Chains A and B, each alone.
Chain A
Amino acid sequence: QQPVQSPQAVILREGEDAVINCSSSKALYSVHWYRQKHGEAPVFLMILLKGGEQKGHDKISASFNEKKQQSSLYLTASQLSYSGTYFCGTELGAGGTSYGKLTFGQGTILTVHP
């Protein structure tokens, strides 16, 4: 089951914040976040394994609400280099076991202007 991302696109000025959401209709084992520049491979940002877990590095962080089966990616004080398409990838699972397949959402296009 493909996770649903929102919004589909975000346009920011440098220094502004953004939130990208990812939700699933099925129980999640983990949520992965990737950023992809045009024509390049998706680059791993972070993985969240436990409900309620929050992770982050620099000004990009994410949370995972296992009960709501959703994750949010937070980008603060955005930089020009943040521009790209952000994908969440979800692994379904239950009882601490992954079903193994990583399925991507449809992506959120983030554009940061000077």
Chain B
Amino acid sequence: AAGVIQSPRHLIKEKRETATLKCYPIPRHDTVYWYQQGPGQDPQFLISFYEKMQSDKGSIPDRFSAQQFSDYHSELNMSSLELGDSALYFCASSRTGRDEAFFGQGTRLTVV
């Protein structure tokens, strides 16, 4: 069965650079979530989209933005990267708000 696909799997960037993370949800899933997980921490909700519209916003810095496109894939854009942005970034998708959310394998971002 198709799963949530994230790319790239690993990314190394320097401070003040920009990064774009991509997420391709499971087909027919209409909700996408983005989470940031630091080492030894729980996943922190960043932002979610329902039917291509932003549905909720969490602890997402102003330097970050995200959108969901007509084909339902989503991109998380991160600018002016800081060392503290180093983390695992997970994307998850679900079908409406009633079903389980499935996670992608994550993108490990390292800012040096």
Tell me the A residues contacting B by CB distance below 8 Å: 29-30, 32, 34, 39-44, 46-47, 49, 87, 89, 91, 98-107
CB distance from A48 to the nearest CB of B (A): 11
In the complex with contacts A41-B106, A47-B99, A105-B45 CB distance below 8 A: no
Choose one: A30, A34, A40, A91; the contact of B105 (CB below 8 Å): A40
Contact in complex: B45, A100 (CB < 8 Å)? no
Q: Across the A-B interface, give the 10 residue pairs with the lowest CB-CB distance, nearest first.
A: A98-B97, A41-B103, A101-B56, A44-B100, A104-B42, A107-B42, A106-B42, A47-B100, A104-B43, A100-B55
CB distance from B93 to the nearest CB of A (A): 11
A-B CB contact pairs (8 Å), 20 listed: A34-B103, A41-B104, A41-B106, A42-B103, A44-B101, A44-B102, A44-B103, A46-B100, A87-B43, A98-B98, A99-B56, A100-B55, A101-B55, A102-B48, A102-B92, A103-B45, A104-B43, A104-B45, A105-B42, A107-B42
CB distance from B91 to the nearest CB of A (A): 9
Closest-by-CB residue of B relative to A107 is B42
| Inter-chain pairs besides A41-B90, A100-B48, A104-B45, 17 sampled, C-beta below 8 Å | A32-B101, A40-B105, A41-B104, A42-B43, A44-B100, A44-B102, A47-B99, A47-B100, A87-B43, A91-B97, A98-B97, A100-B50, A101-B48, A102-B92, A104-B42, A106-B41, A106-B42
The A interface is mostly helix, strand or loop, or mixed, namely strand
A41 CA / B105 CA spacing, docked (Å): 5
Tell which of B42, B48, B101, B102 has the most Cβ of chain A within 10 Å. Answer: B42
CB distance from B72 to the nearest CB of A (A): 16
| Residues on the A chain within 8 Å of B105, using CB | 40-41
Contact in complex: B42, A100 (CB < 8 Å)? no
